[in-house]
Chain A
Amino acid sequence: DQQVKQNSPSLSVQEGRISILNCDYTNSMFDYFLWYKKYPAEGPTFLISISSIKDKNEDGRFTVFLNKSAKHLSLHIVPSQPGDSAVYFCAASGGYGGSQGNLIFGKGTKLSVKP
């Protein structure tokens, strides 16, 4: 049973517009949520994270929103750029110390930003 779900396998957005990537989770014990970006033939790159005690975290063009009651988080990219085209993974963690790295990943959403 998937604990972290990204229900949209792909998303296409026009350059300059907002990209919204969604993620749902089932385990209310998760403490942290992270977003990773992955280009082909490369490892995932950390983008942004949020603690379960917050509902928003912003870093430049990237903002993550967390709705704990709905067990839902989203990543907003504004404005979207062609270089943002990649696969985006949502991940969650409920551990501490070394076990914090036991991330539960979604299957990813492929974002295509068209010029």
Chain B
Amino acid sequence: SQTIHQWPATLVQPVGSPLSLECTVEGTSNPNLYWYRQAAGRGLQLLFYSVGIGQISSEVPQNLSASRPQDRQFILSSKKLLLSDSGFYLCAWSVYQGGISPLHFGNGTRLTVT
């Protein structure tokens, strides 16, 4: 069965510090990978998605970047965090086989920028 691992679960970082969140998927090949964020009082918002190694689509211009160095690895980064980067970050995967292909989420990282 497929599993998704996301770490760390919680993170407190000062403004201006770098960020690296990692996500890996097991049990499937060539998944579509996604980074979502839920800011306080808001719904989930797609940040980046990737349909293959090295292929990144950005949905929202911001202070963050994403990379996919391996088929089942997705990394979210920032060179300098802002206060507004605080939120709940979720990695997700799907495999498109026609029809509805639901996203399967990891347990998320709670990021607090101080």
Contacts and interface: CB of A to CB of B under 8 A. Distances in A.
Interface of A: 2, 4, 32, 34, 36, 41-46, 49, 51, 89, 91, 93, 96-103, 105-108
Nearest to A102: B46
Interface residues of B, number: 30
Contacts of A45: 105
A42 B104 CA distance: 12
A100 B96 contact: yes
Contacts of B94: 100-101
B43 A44 contact: no
Contacts of A49: 100, 102
Interface of B: 6, 9, 32, 34, 41-46, 49-51, 57, 59, 90, 92, 94, 96, 99-108, 110
* Interface residue SS majority, chain A: mixed
Nearest to A43: B105
Contact of B46 (A4, A43, A101, A107): A101
Q: Which of B32, B100, B104 has the most CB atoms of chain A within a 10 A radius of its CB?
A: B100
